[in-house]
Structure 1
Amino acid sequence: MSGASGMDGAGWDERYAAVELVWGAEPNRWLAAETADLPPGHALDLAAGEGRNAIWLARRGWEVTAVDFSGVAVERGRRLAGSEAADVADRITWKVADVRDEVGPAGAYSLVCVIYLHLVADERRRALWHAANAVAPGGVLLVVGHDTTNLTEGVGGPQDPRVLFTPDDILGDLNAGADGAAADWIVERAERVRRPVHTTGGETRDAIDALVRLQRSR
């Protein structure tokens, strides 16, 4: 989603303006699978892009705050949420903000998701601390992104190794501790997962993602 290192809000505005839907309309497969067992509550979608995940959650009863630093993406998401096909405008609050800054009240969300946010390590760590701080006790933090090994063993995704990460990197970021990030976490899942991708050459190859799902115990 929006937020890859090396491109600012204006750059992402241009990218979103160039095509109808950068990421498509379907939710991220890992988000759909990992939240299927959660009762609807309040969710925070960071680097939400055009809102495909926020809209999917809202259609399942969640109240969602969707944040991205591209105003073009946020406006498109707002329009999509209000369309006849989605009809969830009243369930999503849209915000234009930089997720490296604190964008949600502490302990306010039963689900915080950070899907394909790729930043250099210190900026990623800062964004994750804010994300963690927003999770309520008993709530879930879900982080998904292109794994470091995807660069050599997978397909697609950023080609800059500085913005890729592993599940251990995410756990290490949170263990470094800052405010709510120092909370006790139950590691429900922290592993590399494979995602089939159809290439332009007609082949199907696996992209390798890092997936971390944590529950905040306090």
Structure 2
Amino acid sequence: MDSNDWDARYAASAELVWTAEPNRFVVEAVTDLPPGDALDLAAGEGRNAVWLATHGWRVTAVDFSPVAVARGRELAARRGVPVRWRVADVTTDVPEPGRYDLVLIAYLHLPPAQFATALAGARAALRPGGTIVVVGHDRANLDGGVGGPRDPELLLTPEAVVNGLDWLRLERAGTVRRPVTVDGTTVDALDTLVVATEPA
């Protein structure tokens, strides 16, 4: 899907397409970190960016959908927190190197070469001692979970993400279960989760 497709998807709903609450794995990975400068790549409607800002982070949120960014601005305004919003494509817009204490990539699903480009930019954007958190639908979700893209080329594996984070110190890497409710029944989605730190 390109930015126009995502604009149409966001504009078709009067409410947020995704919840306003942050992703549970982002919360787990970040809660004990001291707030600093954070970059949320492919931030969508801003649920994680706004949560970070409410916890003292200075957040830059980037997404290629102007409609999503507008909704993120509204959510931040309702919560009374500052977030710097940018409309940009994370596959071509290169973050400032060495600028951030935290870089987040949540549910960014692209062809492998494009994802590798975005991941390389995210990795380079870390300051010494900074943390990167990558979470998204795992390839195992095709057969063992619910939701997410159905094209295996767009899905993540912990191994593929780790391979793009050379020289970082791994804090956590694996496939995790995320309970979701479908038609009144709780079932599991399977996500890739990787947390790594740039050596100080």
For normalisation by structure 2, the TM-score amounts to 0.97
Partner of 1:38: 33
**2:7 is the counterpart of 1:13:** yes
Partner of 2:113: 122
Q: For 1:106-185, what aligned pairs fall within 5 Å after superposition?
A: 106-175=97-166, 184-185=167-168
Partner of 1:26: 21
Query: Could you tell me how far apart the structure 2 residues matched to 1:62 and 1:165 are?
Result: 27
Query: Could you tell me how far apart the structure 1 residues matched to 2:86 and 2:138 are?
Result: 28
Assess if the C-alpha contact under 8 Å between 1:97 and 1:103 holds in 2.
Answer: no
Partner of 2:55: 60
Q: What do the CA deviations read for 1:9-28 (whole angstroms, capped 9, x no partner)?
A: 01100001011201111001
Q: What displacement does 1:104 show?
A: 2.0
Match of 1:73 among 68, 75, 79: 68
Q: CA RMSD in A?
A: 1.0
Q: What do the CA deviations read for 1:75-112 (whole angstroms, capped 9, x no partner)?
A: 111122112xx001xx3100000001234210100000
Q: What do the CA deviations read for 1:161-218 (whole angstroms, capped 9, x no partner)?
A: 110011001011233xxxxxxxx21000001110111112x22111110000000015
Query: Could you tell me how far apart the structure 1 residues matched to 2:51 and 2:94 are?
Result: 21
Q: Which consecutive unaligned segments of at least 5 residues does structure 1 have? A: 1-6, 176-183
Number of residue equivalences: 199
Q: Which consecutive unaligned segments of at least 5 residues does structure 2 have? A: none
Partner of 1:87: 80
Partner of 1:206: 188
Partner of 1:102: 93
Query: Could you tell me how far apart the structure 1 residues matched to 2:76 and 2:94 are?
Result: 21
Query: Could you tell me how far apart the structure 2 residues matched to 1:186 and 1:173 are?
Result: 12
Q: Give the % identical residues.
A: 55
Match of 2:42 among 47, 50, 53: 47
Assess if the C-alpha contact under 8 Å between 1:146 and 1:165 holds in 2.
Answer: yes
* Segments of 4+ moved more than 3 angstroms: none
Query: Could you tell me how far apart the structure 2 residues matched to 1:82 and 1:205 are?
Result: 33
Q: What do the CA deviations read for 1:10-65 (whole angstroms, capped 9, x no partner)?
A: 11000010112011110011101110000110000000011100100000100000
Query: Could you tell me how far apart the structure 2 residues matched to 1:216 and 1:110 are?
Result: 9
Query: Could you tell me how far apart the structure 1 residues matched to 2:168 and 2:164 are?
Result: 13
| Paired AA for residue 168 in structure 2 | W
Q: What displacement does 1:144 show?
A: 0.2
